[in-house]
Chains A and B, each alone.
Chain A
């Protein structure tokens, strides 16, 4: 029984359930502090999903920037703005119904689109086709062989930090098999988007600091200024 379990699928199921359950809990809860906590757990489980998908650098960045930075920012916002420690603003019932209808239909459309593409079912489809043609259980047991298991999924080398760094500065080592040299030149470097996003981050942080420290104005003079 234990040998039949694909452990990648087991941990995927674990992280996916945690992420989805706490994502739903963020929606349902009306307590802003608990929402922040549920969001931390959901994003942490999402980082686990990134690790499982072979994107370990993105997963660690998710843990560092999102869980460690953005959510700390959000928690500070909660602490700086809440009048009482358990502030909660109730949503009216009609809004809940409308949002549930819209969200449910959106989810139905998304799931319908996701499930219809057979290529996204994963390597399991190819495995099932292979076992249907190749598996003859009686003959295999007579030959004293193991029954055909699900094929082992070999993730590519998961150390992506080096390849990401090289892709930022120039060569794309994961696309060296591209036969067309013109296309290979087009997918060369991420230096310009990286530069743009870093300057953007600097501008945004300066602007945020400026916005956050502007003086408190009286309520009546807002319209005139």
Chain B
């Protein structure tokens, strides 16, 4: 399929969103740095945001009977705001953890193990 001579559709945006989502999930699973886990969360939220924005546009579909419209944009805005809030709290927790343990290796956080 020659992408350059055809208009893009929802599928292409969803593929980019899937790539970012999987990258974020793998990043959350493999990084031992607490800030690396945070960056993985940001990637996951961005993959979801791409999906919302792609579904919001009704010109991206072959059959434009239904699109999210402004709902998708507003949900994406809410996700962005919640991501900012989550980053602030998680960063505060990380700083506190660093103050207590002098490291940000998540494998050393063993106090909550039952």
B-contacting residues of A (Cβ < 8 Å)?
Answer: 4-6, 8-10, 12-13, 16, 19-20, 23-24, 26-27, 32, 35-36, 39, 42-43, 46, 49-50, 52-55, 57-58, 61-62, 65-66, 69-71, 73-74, 76-78, 80-81, 83, 87, 89, 91, 95-96, 98-100, 102-104, 106-107, 110-111, 114-115, 117-127, 150-151, 153-156, 160, 163-164, 167-168, 172, 174-175, 187, 190, 193, 197, 200-201, 204-205, 207-209, 211-212, 214, 216-217, 219, 222-223
**Chain B: minimal CB distance from A224 (Å):** 12
User: Do A156 and B88 touch (CB < 8 A)?
Assistant: no
Q: Encode B64-86 as 1/0 by CB contact (under 8 A) with A.
A: 00000111111011101111111
A4 to B101 CA separation, bound complex (whole angstroms)? 60
Report the count of interface residues on B (CB-CB < 8 A): 82
Q: From residue 78 to 114 of chain B, which have CB atoms closer than 8 A to chain A?
A: 78, 80-89, 91-96, 98-102, 104-105, 111
Question: Judging by beta carbons under 8 Å apart, are B70 and A211 in contact?
Answer: no
Closest to B22 in A: A107
Tell me if A49 and B94 are in contact (CB < 8 A).
no
Indicate whether A69 sits within 8 Å of B57 (C-beta atoms), given known contacts A8-B7, A26-B39, A214-B96.
no
B23 touches A123 (CB 8 A): no
Q: Is the CB of A66 within 8 A of B83?
A: yes
CA distance A125 to B105 in the complex (A): 50
Residues of the B chain whose Cβ atoms lie less than 8 Å from the Cβ of A49: 13, 16, 50, 53
B98 to chain A, nearest CB (A): 5
A172 and B11 contacting across the interface, CB-CB below 8 Å: no
Q: Taking beta carbons and an 8 Å cutoff, which residues of B are in contact with A?
A: 3-16, 18-27, 29-33, 35-36, 38-40, 42-43, 46, 49-50, 53-54, 56-63, 69-74, 76-78, 80-89, 91-96, 98-102, 104-105, 111
Within the complex, which residue of A12, A126, A219 is in contact with B12, where a contact is CB–CB below 8 Å? A12
Q: A58, B6: Cβ atoms under 8 Å?
A: no
B19, A107: Cβ atoms closer than 8 Å: yes
User: Does A23 contact B20, Cβ atoms closer than 8 Å?
Assistant: yes
Q: Within the complex, what minimum Cβ distance (angstroms) separates A207 from chain B?
A: 6
Question: Once the chains bind, are B81 and A197 in contact (CB under 8 Å)?
Answer: yes
Bound complex: CA A74 to CA B96 (Å)? 15
Q: Which of B15, B23, B92 contacts A26 (CB 8 A)?
A: B23
A164 touches B5 (CB 8 A): no
CA distance A174 to B11 in the complex (A): 23
B35 close to A6 (CB less than 8 A): no
Partner of B100, one of A103, A200, A222: A222
New A-B contacts (5) at CB < 8 Å, excluding given A62-B49, A123-B62, A193-B74: A57-B73, A73-B88, A150-B6, A200-B85, A208-B92
The answer for the CA separation of A200 and B82 in the assembled complex, in Å, is: 8
A129 nearest CB across to chain B (Å):
9
Closest approach, in angstroms, between the C-beta of B45 and any C-beta of chain A? Answer: 9
> How near does chain A come to B55, taking the closest CB pair, in angstroms?
9
Of B31, B38, B89, B100, most buried by chain A (CB within 10 Å of CB) is B31
Contacts of A27 in B (CB 8 A): 23, 26-27, 30, 40
Would B4 and A42 count as touching, CB distance under 8 A?
A: no
